[in-house]
Amino acid sequence: RKEVEQDPGPFNVPEGATVAFNCTYSNSASQSFFWYRQDCRKEPKLLMSVYSSGNEDGRFTAQLNRASQYISLLIRDSKLSDSATYLCVVNRKDSSYKLIFGSGTRLLVRP
């Protein structure tokens, strides 16, 4: 079983749609959680950190469910520019230094 699992997609949605991505992680001791965005042939960039109480940044909402070891990302009012791969990231149990990256969920927003 992978340490971080994501649905690879692609999710193909029209502009203006709301789309949700889910991610599960296997290490119950993980403390840090993030969503990264990666455009084609570019480096991953931090989208947002995920806090226990849930957090929102404009059209983006991230939530954490520790009991179910589950992280989600909700994108409202999708824009064409949101088309990218979204990576779920958690820290690793054997070291505070290392992060584990999911393989990513691809989002395509169509006009």
Partner 1 sequence: DVKVTQSSRYLVKRTGEKVFLECVQDMDHENMFWYRQDPGLGLRLIYFSYDVKMKEKGDIPEGYSVSREKKERFSLILESASTNQTSMYLCASGRPDFEQYFGPGTRLTVT
Give the integer Cα–Cα distance in Å for 61 and 76: 8
Q: Least CB distance from residue 80 to partner 1, whole Å?
A: 23
Contact with partner 1 (CB under 8 A) among 49, 66, 70, 110: 49
Q: Which residue of 87, 90, 107, 109 would you call a contact of partner 1, by CB under 8 A?
A: 87
Least CB distance from residue 15 to partner 1, whole Å?
A: 28
Figure out which of the listed residues 21, 78, 86, 104 binds partner 1, where binding follows CB under 8 A. 104
Neighbours of 11 (CB within 10 A): 19
Does position 52 interact with partner 1 (CB under 8 A)? The reply is no
**DSSP string across 13-35:** EETT--EEEEEEES-TT---EEE
Using the rule CB under 8 A, give the single segment among 15-23, 60-68, 74-82, 92-100 that binds partner 1.
92-100
Instruction: Reduce the DSSP state of residue 50 to 3 states and report it.
Output: coil
Rounded CA separation 5/60 (Å): 20
Q: Are 106 and 13 in contact (CB under 8 A)?
A: no
Report the residue number, 14 or 28, with the smaller CB distance to partner 1. Answer: 28
Q: Which residues of this protein are in contact with partner 1, per CB under 8 A?
A: 31-32, 34, 41-46, 49, 87, 91, 95-99, 101-104
